[in-house]
Amino acid sequence: MKNRFLLLIALVFFAQLEAQAQQKTNLQLTDLFDLEYISDPQISPDGSKVIYVRNFKDIMTDRDYGNLWMVNIDGTQNRPLTQGNQRDSDPVWSPDGSKVAYRSNGQDEKTKLFVLYLDTKISVALTNSANTPGSPTWSPDGQSLAFTQFVPKAKKSILSIPAKPEGAEWNAAPIFIDEMNYRGDGSGYLRSGKSQIFTIGISGGTARQRTFEDKNYGAPIWSEDGKSLFFSANLNEDLIAQPNNSEIHQLNLTTGSIKALTDRFGPDANPMLSPDGQLIAYTGNDDTFQGYQVTNLYVMNVDGTGVKNLTADLDRDAGNPQWEANSKGIYFQYDEKGDTKIGHVAFTGKIRTVVEGLGGLDLGRPYNAGAYSVSNNNRFAYTLGGGDHPADLAVWVDGNMKRITAVNDDVFSYREIGKVEEIWWKSSFDGIDVQGWIVTPPNFDPSKKYPMILEIHGGPFAMYGNSFSYEVQAYAAAGYVVLYTNPRGSTGYGQDFGNSIHHDYPNHDYEDLISGVDAVIAKGYIDTANLFVTGGSGGGVLTAWIVGKT
């Protein structure tokens, strides 16, 4: 009897220990270094495998890294192709599916173009330039790559700076600036030079420069016969007066001649050749000098004739066009009311939604960025987002969606995160419907009172969504209720909604935001003596605007 009693005490003791071990704790700031996410999901031409980038961080160097992984379409054989603290990105399958081109700094600190032979798993560096190559595209025969690369250009200066004596320590020399666009957000002063088009054979050798005009050239794609390249660029002489007036061009690789295929005033970009080689899909709009304009999806013959707007009836931005295998329709990506989707449009203009729930590519804030690719048999690989996890890999096969990875389940097994809840309200200014999301602290108790933070997105033409945000989750872990929202001026709700702040910003988006704050307060769990506001870029402008109000 005594032994049974002791056994019972031991069982209770170990049960308590197990319960304590399973008790989740709130997210910590350093947990950011343990989070991973998937990007660049590239499905093989035959739709049997997916290569993707698995991104991670290093707490010792505070740097971001990523390795290539490959998995079967059914989720089996999920294995790394590269490894180490390096940045591998932009994988692209060869037309026959036997090789993969990608960018990496794994050999040394320089980013180079590599080709990975899948039969031997051997990678070969093709470039060794001091300048970083852009994402490559394969020639139809799989023997060459085309890409863009920055080419520096010596800049003349009107300043005459004397040479300092040997060994002297002087302050930095003055900088002479005579260009309108001379500095980049996050990158500082821009180097003198332009992005040019190059080609290189996979057998090695020196990359050949194909363009030379002092203009920036967009990423090239190959013609069906491999004798020319299509690309987008603004080659106008007066770039300052026409900064968005780009066209789709064709570069003859034999003669070097360049021919413009489009000629309307406005941006034309993202050319994509049809599988039969007869048509080009691209995105753009007629520039009417508005703050925000919806981007449409167009199709034309390879000689530039027969232009047709396929998404004129879709009041949303169409991007990332990819062809259906039979060349009779085009898949595209678009944002709608906080969600990112894959759509399909036929040449008749009929549009349908194929996949929803793309996202998860921005760990910092809940911008709903996503990516996808399509195979020759119309299967999809895409980044799956959600308010409770960063981007994971998912596939869509014959109408069925399957989540392949859950790369952060280890972290979320012991960390509790805030719950994300969608909310709609009407603006006090004119009654328009406004969408937002409430994030409540872990172990939330609606009978208690919580301080509140209003978090505002930048842009201002941008869109938040039901997407995991480490910044917002950190606020929630600290005990705050967070509201983030898409006030007027946000994308994903049509051109009129997005352009309603044209020459009127900031103004009535203030009422949109504060009406959302009132809607959350009405739920009864907000401490109205502790209300806070924050935001970056355009959100910073509105933050300053709001704190100047009562």
Nearest to 329 by CA among 353, 346, 350, 311: 346
453-505 pLDDT per residue, tens: 999 999 999 999 999 999 999 999 999 999 999 999 999 999 999 999 999 99
CATH 3.40.50.1820 domain position(s) in the chain? 416-547
Domain spanning 416-547 has what CATH number? 3.40.50.1820
Q: What is the DSSP string of 439-486?
A: EEPTT--TTS-EEEEEEE-SSSS--B-S---HHHHHHHHTT-EEEEEE
Q: Can you state the percent helix, strand and coil of the chain, rounding each to 5?
A: 15, 40, 50
Q: How many CA atoms lie within 13 A of 421 on its CB side?
A: 14
From residue 43, give the alpha-carbon distance in Å to each of 222, 371, 506.
19, 12, 43
Q: How many CB atoms lie within 10 A of CB 156?
A: 8
Alpha carbon 35 to its chain's center: 18
pLDDT of the residue at 231: 98
Helix, strand or coil, per DSSP, at residue 191 = coil
Structural tokens at position 338:
């906080």
User: Could you tell me if 240 and 180 are in contact, meaning their C-beta atoms sit under 8 angstroms apart?
Assistant: yes
Nearest to 197 by CA among 213, 175, 174, 179: 213
User: CA 421, CA 440: separation in Å to the nearest integer?
Assistant: 8
Give yes or no for a cis peptide into 80 (omega within 30° of 0): no
Q: How many CA atoms lie within 13 A of 142 on its CB side?
A: 13
Structural tokens at position 98:
């036997």
519-546 pLDDT per residue, tens: 999 999 999 999 999 999 999 999 999 9
pLDDT of the residue at 550: 79
Q: How many CB atoms lie within 10 A of CB 3?
A: 7
pLDDT of the residue at 159: 84
pLDDT of the residue at 12: 47
User: CA 211, CA 509: separation in Å to the nearest integer?
Assistant: 45
Q: What is the DSSP string of 402-433?
A: EE---TTHHHHTTEE-PEEEEEEEE-TTT--E
pLDDT of the residue at 477: 97
Level-2 CATH architecture, domain 29-155+179-412: 6 Propeller (2.120)
pLDDT of the residue at 3: 55
Nearest to 82 by CA among 58, 48, 56: 56
Phi, psi of 466 (to 5 degrees): -80, 70
Residues of 140-152 as b/e, b for ≥16 C-beta within 10 angstroms?
eebebbbbbbbbe
CATH 2.120.10.30 domain position(s) in the chain? 29-155+179-412
If you compute the radius of gyration of the chain from its CA atoms, what whole number of angstroms results?
A: 26
pLDDT of the residue at 17: 44
pLDDT tens for the 550 residues of the chain, in order: 555 555 545 554 444 545 444 689 999 999 999 999 999 999 999 999 999 999 999 999 999 999 999 999 999 999 999 999 999 999 999 999 999 999 999 999 899 999 999 999 999 999 999 999 999 999 999 999 999 999 998 888 888 888 889 999 999 888 888 888 889 888 888 888 999 999 999 987 899 999 999 999 999 999 999 999 999 999 998 888 888 999 999 999 999 999 999 999 999 999 999 999 999 999 999 999 999 999 999 999 999 999 999 999 999 999 999 999 999 999 999 999 999 999 999 999 999 999 999 999 989 999 999 999 999 999 999 999 999 999 999 999 999 999 999 999 999 999 999 999 999 999 999 999 999 999 999 999 999 999 999 999 999 999 999 999 999 999 999 999 999 999 999 999 999 999 999 999 999 999 999 999 999 999 999 999 999 999 999 999 999 999 999 7
Q: State how beta strands 49-58 and 37-43 pair.
A: antiparallel
Give yes or no for a cis peptide into 460 (omega within 30° of 0): yes
User: Could you tell me if 474 and 29 are in contact, meaning their C-beta atoms sit under 8 angstroms apart?
Assistant: yes
User: Could you tell me if 223 and 237 are in contact, meaning their C-beta atoms sit under 8 angstroms apart?
Assistant: no
311-349 pLDDT per residue, tens: 999 999 999 999 999 999 999 999 999 999 999 999 999
User: CA 413, CA 65: separation in Å to the nearest integer?
Assistant: 23
From residue 323, give the alpha-carbon distance in Å to each of 94, 370, 378.
17, 18, 9
